[in-house]
Amino acid sequence: MNTEVARVEVAASRRWVVKVGSALLTDDGRGLDSAIIAQLVNQLADLRQRGCEVVLVSSGAVAAGIVRLGWPRRPASLHDLQAAAAVGQSILIQSYETAFRQHGIATAQILLGHDDIIARDRYLNARATLTTLLRLGVVPIVNENDTVVTDEIRFGDNDTLAALVANLIDADALLLLTDQQGLYEQDPRQNPQARLVPCCEVHDPSLDAMAGEGGALGRGGMVTKLRAARLAARSGTETLIASGRLTDVVALAASGAGIGTWLRTGKQPQNARKQWLAGMVRIAGSLELDDGAVRVLREAGRSLLPVGVRAVQGGFRRGDMVSCHGPDGREVARGLVNYSIEEARRIIGQPSAAIAGLLGYQGDEELIHRDNLVLL
Ligand SMILES: Nc1ncnc2c1ncn2[C@@H]1O[C@H](COP(=O)(O)OP(=O)(O)O)[C@@H](O)[C@H]1O
Ligand SMILES: N[C@@H](CCC(=O)OP(=O)(O)O)C(=O)O
């Protein structure tokens, strides 16, 4: 694996997901470390100054809540953990909002479960909200919705959540900040002589034997980071695992400096994204397009508007995958549809400006947005 090429490519990344683990943020469970938060926020503000978009995925709610409630250790009971997360989440978000405000940057709290990203209709909603926030210049701060999820809080798996967010917004790079310099050939807590892996193809099977579990806070360790990097690679996102304690780690990562462990996708991002979208779900229906719609999809890479659709078939709901055919019956594209079949029947053949009048509410102007469309 050519480390130099990898770093130069990643230095060109524009859309970043940065994930910060509890181990780093809470000094291994001793409450939120405001110095680390301030430092991190300064660095993310600088990244924004370079013209990059940033989504922050931050853990730390449970650890902050435990300290606020005066509990001596992490509880075993699921409901206690959920209560601690609820207490800690507001402390966490308040700390970030205060720190980002110093830079004139607004933040947004986004609480998600894995199901919110896997269910097709919620996927579209989450994607639209996140991309709208990025367009508005806001930094979304994502955490698990610990009040309602159970598996995630049990396994403490914000690494997977960060990867799913990277898929959701087609991030160019995923930066996993933790308390180690990167992935070592063996857990350095067990073998301090272990060597750092600087760069590797993400699907290389030799990595599995290297990655071990997490520290005292009982989380996923490098196992979930490696799994997250593999998930992120589905949408062409490159992953860097690095130490959040390294001075200027974000700037170093963004300039392609030789730090941490890069896990490369080995694929063109566009191809990876299309394959991922195409292989995602079963086809729930079909749309018959007119010649004009086929042409703009193929030649101009545009979204599919209701006006270019002549007929619809199947039993699809918002967020389902549908296939799009030309007048000659040949399949030209597949994509995630913004309306159910009942709604689609009422708006096809009509200009988007008429949607509000036809449905009684203003939905998306496209039947399928170009970001959710794969040409065949
Ligand atoms: N091969 C490895 N290289 C580096 N760290 C490893 C490895 N295997 C296991 N680990 C452990 O993973 C921990 C980081 O993961 P975790 O505790 O889940 O942190 P975070 O809160 O940042 O997600 C490290 O402190 C380390 O003990
Ligand atoms: N939602 C939990 C996340 C726990 C978690 O994933 O922790 P980590 O492995 O440190 O990223 C919290 O905020 O405490």
57 and 206 co-located in one domain: yes
| Structure-block tokens of residue 180 | 């180690």
Rounded Cα gap, residues 281 and 166, in angstroms: 18
- Structure confidence at residue 218 (pLDDT): 46
Rounded Cα gap, residues 220 and 241, in angstroms: 14
For residue 223, the CA-to-ligand 1 centroid distance in Å is: 8
Give yes or no for a contact between 255 and 12, defined as CB atoms under 8 angstroms apart: no
Q: Which amino acid type is present at position 49?
A: Q
Which distant-in-sequence residues (6+ apart) come within 8 Å of 137 by Cβ? 48, 105, 106
Q: Phi first, then psi: what are they for 49, rounded to 5°?
A: -60, -30
285 and 270 co-located in one domain: no
Query: Residues forming the annotated binding site for substrate?
Result: 59, 146, 158
Query: Residues forming the annotated binding site?
Result: 19, 59, 146, 158, 178-179
323 and 297 co-located in one domain: yes
Rounded Cα gap, residues 239 and 18, in angstroms: 10
Ligand 1 binding residues, C-beta < 6 A = 21-24, 59, 178-180, 183-184, 186-189, 210-215, 219-222
232 and 326 co-located in one domain: no
Rounded Cα gap, residues 127 and 273, in angstroms: 14
Collapsed DSSP state (helix, strand, coil) of residue 316: coil
Give, for ligand 2, the residue of 81, 149, 158 to mutate: max count of ligand atoms closer than 8 Å to Cβ: 158
Tell me the C-alpha to C-alpha distance, in Å, between residue 188 and each of 179, 210, 211, 373.
Answer: 11, 10, 10, 44
CATH assignment of the domain containing 294: 2.30.130.10
Domain edge (last residue) among 274, 303, 331 = 274
Ligand 2 binding residues, C-beta < 6 A = 21-23, 59-63, 85, 143-144, 146, 156-158, 219-220
- Structure confidence at residue 207 (pLDDT): 95
207 and 310 co-located in one domain: no
218 and 132 co-located in one domain: yes
For residue 10, the CA-to-ligand 1 centroid distance in Å is: 23
Q: Using alpha carbons, select from 332, 336, 337 the residue that is nearest to residue 376.
A: 332
- Cα angle for residues 273, 161, 183 (degrees, 5° grid): 90
Atom of ligand 2 nearest to the CA of 217: 10
Rounded Cα gap, residues 39 and 20, in angstroms: 12
- Structure confidence at residue 279 (pLDDT): 61
Collapsed DSSP state (helix, strand, coil) of residue 129: helix
Collapsed DSSP state (helix, strand, coil) of residue 226: helix
| Structure-block tokens of residue 231 | 């998930």
Domain edge (last residue) among 216, 243, 274 = 274
CATH assignment of the domain containing 261: 3.40.1160.10
- Structure confidence at residue 215 (pLDDT): 59
Rounded Cα gap, residues 223 and 123, in angstroms: 25
Q: What is the 8-class DSSP label of residue 70? A: T
> Can you spell out the DSSP letters for 173-203?
EEEEEESSSS-BSS-TTT-TTPPB--EEETT
Distance from first CA to last CA of the chain, Å, rounded?
31
116 and 143 co-located in one domain: yes
211 and 350 co-located in one domain: no
Atom of ligand 1 nearest to the CA of 181: 4
What are the mean pLDDT values of the chain's consecutive 10-residue runs (376 residues total)? 59 89 78 90 96 95 93 91 95 96 97 80 87 96 89 75 91 93 93 95 93 66 92 90 94 91 80 63 88 93 95 92 94 92 96 94 92 84
pTM of the model: 0.83
197 and 215 co-located in one domain: yes
Residue 321: give the domain boundaries. 281-375
181 and 269 co-located in one domain: yes
How many domains is the chain built from? Answer: 2
The helix or strand, by DSSP H or E, that contains position 309, with its residue range, turns out to be strand 309-314
State the pairing for strand pair 283-289/309-314.
antiparallel
193 and 69 co-located in one domain: yes
Q: What is the 8-class DSSP label of residue 372? A: G
- Structure confidence at residue 256 (pLDDT): 85
Domain edge (last residue) among 219, 252, 274 = 274
Helix axes 78-101, 61-68, angle to 10 degrees: 100
132 and 270 co-located in one domain: yes
